[in-house]
Amino acid sequence: MNDITDFDITKTYLAFLKDDKDMTMPIAAIESLVSMLRIKQPSTSSELINLVSKNIELLKSSIPNNISLSAGCDLFMRFVLRNTNIYKDWESFSTNLVENGELFVQRAKRSREKSAEFGISFIKDDDVILVHSYSRVVHSLLLKAKSKLIRFKVLITESRPTGNGFYMANKLKEADIPCEVIVDNAVGYVLHKVDKVLVGAEGVAEGGIINHIGTYQIGCLSKINNKPFYVVTESHKFVRLFPLSPNDLPMNNNINLLQEQNNEHNLKETYFVDFTPHD
């Protein structure tokens, strides 16, 4: 095995996010783990599993609000464990593991586009759509609808404390999509003229979704007012958690501690979230 002791999984992970603004946290985690295996080159299956487990724990402990990241780590670990029994000789296994890991990442990246293609049928002409915060996959879906010449308008919550709603609005305006930013407390005021609500997800737990703070209130208001509430997300964000309330999330979710950031990357890493249960 190569004697490389200075590989830093956290720095690698952050570098992937910095280099590709459209990369999600789960994909960045998987990319980092594949890079680690390519460099470290473990010589036995036991060494491989221990190495992956150690780096996953290190990555999870070094990143705040790591639920989305954890989904990618856990998915990759299942991928490793499943593949250990396929190949008889270690050389073939180690080579194919890295290659299949890279292929896995490529397929996961395309899932956003596939989600947009699937969700296009939910958007109709003259729709007024309420969107909460910024979501890459929701943004992709709206761009896809625009490309199909569907005419619609988007209302976007400002999404305090991060203000990511303004970022979403700017991205939609660049695509010439009619949109308007509203204050978070105005959701109940405008909901009567909304046709449907679209939100993304930082993670999908057993029993609900984990997303930007305020999603739960919007979900409750949508249900009371009989407005369709759709979650648009990729399958690699599914996490093995069963929280009953936001207090059960494995993270520091004290909103009073948040210091607003102007840097988009920092916003992503200090993302305060809601647990929104579903039926």
Q: Environment class of residue 206 by beta-carbon count within 10 Å: exposed (0-12), middle (13-18) or buried (19+)?
A: exposed
Tens digit of pLDDT at every position of the chain (279 positions): 444 457 899 999 999 888 887 788 888 888 899 888 888 888 777 888 899 999 999 998 888 777 778 888 888 888 788 777 666 666 777 677 777 767 777 777 788 888 888 999 999 999 999 999 999 899 999 999 999 999 999 999 999 888 999 999 999 999 999 999 999 999 999 999 999 999 998 888 877 888 888 998 999 999 999 999 999 988 778 777 666 666 666 654 444 334 333 344 343 433 455 666 665
Sheet holding 208-212, edge to edge: 203-205, 208-212, 273-277
**Contacts made by residues 57-63, CB under 8 angstroms, sequence distance 24+:** 58/9, 58/10, 59/9, 59/10, 59/13, 59/29, 59/32, 62/10, 63/10, 63/13, 63/269
200, 115 Cβ separation under 8 angstroms: no
At residue 276, φ and ψ (nearest 5 deg) are -110, 100
The region, left, alpha or beta by phi > 0 then psi within -120 to 50, assigned to residue 246 is alpha
User: Which tokens belong to 114?
Assistant: 């596939």
Question: Which amino acid, 50?
Answer: N
**Contacts made by residues 48-57, CB under 8 angstroms, sequence distance 24+:** 48/80, 48/84, 48/94, 48/97, 49/80, 49/81, 49/84, 52/76, 52/77, 52/80, 53/77, 55/9
Closest CA to 115 of 220, 237, 2, 221: 237
Statement: the pTM of the whole predicted model exceeds 0.85: no
User: Residue 20's pLDDT is what?
Assistant: 82
User: Residue 129's pLDDT is what?
Assistant: 98
User: Residue 266's pLDDT is what?
Assistant: 40
User: Which tokens belong to 277?
Assistant: 């249960």
- How far does CA 90 lie from the centroid of its chain? 34
Count the Cβ atoms, other than its own, within 10 Å of residue 251.
Answer: 15
Residues 38 and 60: their CA atoms lie apart, in Å, by 20
Strands 127-132 and 152-157 come out as parallel
The region, left, alpha or beta by phi > 0 then psi within -120 to 50, assigned to residue 57 is alpha
Which domains does the chain carry? Answer: 9-111 (1.20.120), 123-277 (3.40.50.10470)
- How far does CA 122 lie from the centroid of its chain? 21
User: Residue 88's pLDDT is what?
Assistant: 62
User: Residue 225's pLDDT is what?
Assistant: 95
User: Residue 270's pLDDT is what?
Assistant: 39
User: Which tokens belong to 256?
Assistant: 């009073």
